[in-house]
Structures are given as C-alpha cells and as structure tokens.
Amino acid sequence: MLEHDHIIIVGPTFPHEVVGFSGGAKYFFPGISGPDVINATHWLGALATVVGTIGIKDTPVRAMVHAATRHLKTPVTLAALIVEGHDLTGVLIGDVYDTWSAAADVSSQRHVQWCDHPYKRVLSCCPPMYDELWTAGKCMYKMEPVVEVGGEVVIYAPHLAVVSPVHGKYIYEVGYHILQYFLNDWDKYKHIPLGVLAHSTHVRGSGVMVDRKERPNVKVTLASKIPPEDCARLNLGYLDPASINPADWQNREDEGILCVARAGEKLYKVRS
C-alpha cells in the first residue's frame, strides 16, 4: 500500500458481526493485515458481543479500523457496492470514511429485515456459498436478534461437511460457547487464537453463566453432513438434514416459526 500512488477499494457493505458493517477501511484492517490484527479486532468485537455490534455503525472495532487507516498516507478512494442477492443495486464512490458511512446507512435500509415479534424456532437455510461452518455461522448470528430467549436456530446446510479447514483443530478443541464461558476460565483457553474464540462466541450467541454452567439464550442446532457425535463435541445440537423439508416451516410466522430461504446476508431484528 505504501508503494503505490493511489488505492481504490471495491467491495460491498453488509451488517457484520465483528465491525458492525463491513466494507471501507476494513479491507485494510484486518483485511490484508497479519494474524495479530485479525485476532485483536475479532476478539474486541466478541467482547462487545455480536448483538451489541452487528448492524451498528459506530462500534469499537470500526473506531480501531479507522484509527489505523489514518496512519496510511497513500490516497484512498472507496467504491462501496450495495448488493442484494445476486444483484448490484447501488454504487457509492468517494472518500473512504464518508462513503463507507453513507454505504452503511444504505445497508441498514436494504440488509436489515425488521420483524414485529421474536420467534421460538427459525430454520436458517444456508446457501451453498457457505461451505464451512466458519462462514455458515452467519446463519446463526444474523438471526439471533429475532429469536426469543429459550428459542432455537436450526442451521439447515445439507451440503456442509466441514467446520473449518484452517481453524478446525482449535474449534474442535474448545467447542462453541458463550463469551463468559471463556472469560471465567481464561487460563485454560488463552493459548487459543483469539479469532477462533471470537468465532466460537459468535456462533453460540448470548447467554449467562449460572453456577459455572452456561445458559445460552438460543439453542443452536446443525443439520448438515457433520455427524451427531461431532455436533455433541462442538456443543451444538444435531438434526438429520434428510428429516427436514423447508416447505414444512414456511408460512408459520403466526405459530412463532420462521423459515429464511437464503440466510446469512440479511440481519433480522425485532422492532422495539
């Protein structure tokens, strides 16, 4: 970046679990940064919690990203894309800070689905482009805000067979847990990369510790090629994907059941 006359960033903006909204200077930090920056930003986002971060424009991680970018002297132009499904529906071009802010405002209108009430069960249908749980986790944390306490998110991903080719070793070692689970026993988990611990808390969601036992707000069930014994090891529920017909979940909102056909892009929230 320091050896060029000008930098042009081209990329989309969506609600994001670590930084609030993706895009802009995030392509620098942590985008093309090393693991230290990746781990630091993701763990800071985890400490702020997913519910306290995703779909919020001004977050601790965004402030960190912009503070780092201001040390870059090379001029930067941002072409922020607004993408809906497979369609490009908008392009905003200009300064990396103001243009990203405007794109985040548009994303908050286009990529947030507001619901009148929470749901007790959600079938979150995972698109094939999420071919590992590391990315398919979006099908949980973009749904959590619309699930009632004690409810369930079923990640329906019959194509998915891998947790993570890169981070799977560590994820299987720790499993998926709420944030306080790790903070209460930090010496046991401090050797794990912070980005992995952050991912674990993102997918497991919010909750509390009671008598040293975690009580997640939402049950997370995986319906994929990952076998039931692995789901148990990961601290996730299991459903046989062959037993699920998405049509059986559709049009049942009045019963407290929601089916999301292409999960992972839109953030679902309940109107106050």
The residue-averaged pLDDT of 207-226 equals 97
Tokens in use for 197?
A: 């611990």
The residue-averaged pLDDT of 86-104 equals 97
The residue-averaged pLDDT of 186-209 equals 97
Q: Return the closest-CA partner of residue 224 out of 137, 128, 160.
A: 160
**pLDDT digit string, tens, across residues 247-265:** 999 999 999 999 999 999 8
Domains and CATH numbers, the chain: 7-110 (3.40.50.11440), 114-270 (3.90.226.30)
CA dist 222 and 155 (Å) reads: 5
**Over the chain, what is the mean pLDDT?**
97
CA distances, 174 to each of 70, 92, 177, 189 (Å): 36, 41, 8, 8
Is residue 1 predicted with pLDDT exceeding 70?
Answer: no
The stretches of the chain forming alpha helices (DSSP H) are 35-48, 60-69, 96-110, 133-136, 138-141, 168-174, 179-183, 186-189, 194-204, 228-233
The residue-averaged pLDDT of 163-177 equals 98
- pLDDT band for position 3 (cuts 50, 70, 90): confident
Strand-strand pairing, 87-95 and 112-115: unpaired
- Count how many residues are written for the chain: 272
Tokens in use for 200?
A: 């674990």
The residue-averaged pLDDT of 48-77 equals 96
Q: Return the closest-CA partner of residue 137 out of 120, 118, 162.
A: 162
Torsion of CA 249, 232, 137, 183, to 10 degrees: 130
Q: Who contacts 88 (Cβ-Cβ below 8 Å, separation ≥6)? A: 81, 82
Report the pLDDT value the prediction gives residue 214, as an integer from 0 to 100.
97
Instruction: For residue 26, give the 3-state DSSP assignment.
Output: helix
CA dist 9 and 96 (Å) reads: 8
Backbone angles phi, psi at 17, to 5 degrees: -70, -20
Q: Which residue has 């090379």 as its token pair?
A: 74
CA dist 176 and 120 (Å) reads: 21
